[in-house]
Amino acid sequence: MKYNFSAGPAILPKEVMEEAGKAAINFNNSGLSILEISHRSKDFIAVMDQAVQLVKDLLSLSSDYEVIFISGGASSQFFMVPMNFLDENGKAAYVDSGVWANKAIKEAKLFGQVDVVASSKDENYSYIPKGFSVDSQNTYLHLTSNNTIYGTQLHHFPETEVPLIADMSSDIFSRAFDVNKFDLIYAGAQKNMGPAGTTLVIVKKSALGKVRRSIPSMLKYETHIDGGSMYNTPPVFPIYVSMLTMQWLKNNGGIEAIQKINEEKAALLYNEIDRNPLFVGTARKEDRSNMNVCFLLKDSSQEPAFNEMCKSAGCVGLAGHRSVGGFRASIYNAMPKDAIQVLVDIMREFERKNG
Ligand SMILES: *Cc1c(COP(=O)(O)O)cnc(C)c1O
């Protein structure tokens, strides 16, 4: 038995993996693998329709929003967003909350003026910048809702006059929020939605078509909206597995139910980090992420011994990102509470042996 705490690609529900495995051999009893059928076949069109409908259902999207599944990862959204929204002499506001936010800022500068309205770089991104103001001249405010590397999460989206655009790669479908504040939301699938290979984009259609530049077809949101995410061959299997994962979430009570479980799971682990004298959390308490829990051993020379205990209990993927060090337990939707209890028990045992 392995407990997969990896940050991404990350854990998926066991039932989803079993179903996906079957479909890779014989999809819908067609005698064909989902890997070899046409994306224009009736069976795959049904998968795509269902995937889009599940996003709409899970997030209660109004008809103002379009849902597409494209390729290129969240990293391509770093440039597609400004390319499609920001004019050359326009201005966009960005919050610098870590590595991913920085990459988004770098790309946006290729297309227009960027106003970095706040940053938490001064304390190695261990908190969420708050209390900044955003000039209403900005076309949008770009946020990273969950900073996968640092284990910080925006628990309240800022109130601004300008529309929000967010990278929700590592906490999409983990909690309820007011979608109507957003012009666009994007998420690479491989953290909390499915396997690597597709990116979910949710976009307010009325916000598109305002920039003056010419945009290559493949990089234009309208192309994929008009083509029903099938302008070109879509990433069939990642979309299928994402659909199954969303179906699993819906069958288990949807966002409301998973949010409650996610809060309990995170509390279980953070309580142990705070109680156990050998460990310390790295993120400011009020900004702690319910998806990525980052912590250190106060005495870093104990790391190999703790790693050994984790490994022999089947806990994998716990190494912290190199820019933070220590440990990071990614506890996405698919991670059962029992697995977190296993980790907590190891931490207690480690304290008994080494405290
Ligand atoms: C992983 C991650 C990315 C990068 O995603 P790719 O799909 O690999 O391009 C971007 N933003 C956040 C918040 C992430 O966690």
Q: Tell me: the pLDDT tens digits for 137-160?
A: 999 999 999 999 999 999 999 999
Distance of CA 228 to the CA centre of its chain: 23
In degrees, rounded to 5, the angle at the alpha carbon of residue 143 between the alpha carbons of residues 316 and 140 is: 155
Instruction: Note the pLDDT of residue 126.
Output: 98
Q: What is the mean pLDDT of the chain?
A: 97
Query: Are the CB atoms for 91 and 112 separated by under 8 Å?
Result: yes
Other beta carbons less than 10 A from residue 299's beta carbon: 9
Q: What is the reported pTM?
A: 0.98
Q: Which residue, of 222, 251, 280, is where some domain finishes?
A: 251
Contact 158, 166 (CB under 8 A): no
- Mutate-to-test residue for ligand 1 from 71, 148, 201, 291, highest number of ligand atoms within 8 A of CB: 148
Whether residues 177 and 94 share a domain: the answer is yes
Same domain, 51 and 163: yes
How far does residue 30's CA lie from ligand 1's centre (Å)? 35
Cβ partners under 8 Å of residue 128, min gap 6? 97, 120, 147, 152, 153, 154, 155, 284, 287
Residue 290 sits in the same domain as residue 182: no
Question: Based on the structure, what is the number of domains in the chain?
Answer: 2
Q: Whose CA is nearest to atom 3 of ligand 1?
A: 74
Going from the Cα of 170 to the center of ligand 1, the distance in angstroms, rounded, reads 8
Amino acid 355: pLDDT: 82
pLDDT band at 299; cut points 50, 70, 90: very high
**Residue that is last in its domain, among 229, 251, 273:** 251
Distance CA(235)–CA(35), nearest Å, equals: 10
Q: Are residues 184 and 202 in the same domain?
A: yes
Residue 338 token pair = 């029992």
Tell me the best of 97, 100, 153 to mutate to test the pocket of ligand 1, counting ligand atoms within 8 Å of each CB and taking the most. Answer: 100
Q: Are residues 336 and 217 in the same domain?
A: no
- Mean pLDDT, to the nearest integer, of 195-200? 98
In a shared domain, residues 236 and 301: no
Domain that holds residue 196: 14-251
Together in a domain, 81 and 195: yes
Q: Are residues 24 and 147 in the same domain?
A: yes
pLDDT of residue 328: 98
Distance (Å, rounded) from C-alpha 91 to C-alpha 114? 6
Judge residue 293's burial from the number of C-beta atoms within 10 Å of its C-beta, 0-12 exposed, 13-18 middle, 19 or more buried: buried
pLDDT of residue 55: 98
Residues 40 and 133 in one domain: yes
Residue 202 has pLDDT above 90, yes or no: yes
Which residues belong to the active site? 100, 167, 191
For residue range 12-70, list pLDDT tens digits in order.
999 999 999 999 999 999 999 999 999 999 999 999 999 999 999 999 999 999 999 99
CATH number at residue 283: 3.90.1150.10
Q: Residue 181: pLDDT above 90?
A: yes
- For residue 172, pLDDT over 90 is answered with yes
Task: Give yes or no: residues 238 and 290 share one domain.
Answer: no
